[in-house]
Amino acid sequence: MSEEKVNMADQLDETNEVLQDTEQAQENAAETAETTVEDKLEAAEQEITRLNDQLLRLRAEFDNYRKRTLKEKAELILNGGEKVMSSLLPVLDDLDRAMENIDKSDNVETLKEGVDLIISKLTKVLNGQGLQKMDVIGQAFDTDFHEAIALVPVTEESQKNQIIDCVTSGYILNEKVIRHAKVVVGQ
């Protein structure tokens, strides 16, 4: 029996060792799981901090972009006509010279030629800026381009709804009507 007791004692010792090993393994597993969760939490907090920083930088960048575009737009509105005005200055100079010479000249034909040249130069400058005068006489009346100020009876059927006369010229700037032609339409 003593052998049996020794065997039982050995088995009991082995069982105790297994239990201790199991408890130790469970404690280690719990610590490892706790460490893993803490690591994941810390990594997530770092990612949140990084993303918040990135968001703040993007907001600041967008705000600067918005302010810059508003400033550029204001400058464009303020100085937008500079090119047109610069191109009109030579025409203004010609008009000034014409006014200086109007009293000095008795020749009406010369004055008329000078005014015609100035008108031609002005037309060329305006055409260069994209302005086109509408050619409307004989065209069909179209409310997109014309404003009828009078209707006149016509004898020929082909003249009905046609523009007979133009009282005020119409203009198109870069394919957009900026002034409708005021016309007399046949009825």
Same domain for 125 and 106, yes or no, is yes
Q: How far apart are CA 177 and CA 170, in angstroms?
A: 8
Residue reference for tokens 């034909």: 109
Name the domain count of the chain. 3
Same domain for 93 and 135, yes or no, is no
Question: Is residue 125 a contact partner of residue 85, using CB atoms and an 8 Å limit?
Answer: no
Same domain for 125 and 173, yes or no, is no
Same domain for 56 and 90, yes or no, is no
Same domain for 4 and 60, yes or no, is yes
Helices (H), 80-180: 82-102, 108-128
CATH number of 153's domain: 2.30.22.10
Task: Please count the other Cβ atoms lying within 10 Å of the Cβ belonging to residue 160.
Answer: 13
List per-residue pLDDT tens for the chain, 187 residues long.
567 766 777 777 788 787 787 778 777 776 776 668 888 899 999 999 999 999 999 999 999 999 999 999 998 888 778 888 888 999 999 998 888 888 887 888 888 888 999 999 999 999 998 999 999 999 999 999 999 999 999 988 888 999 999 999 999 999 999 999 999 999 8
- For residue 118, give its domain range: 81-129
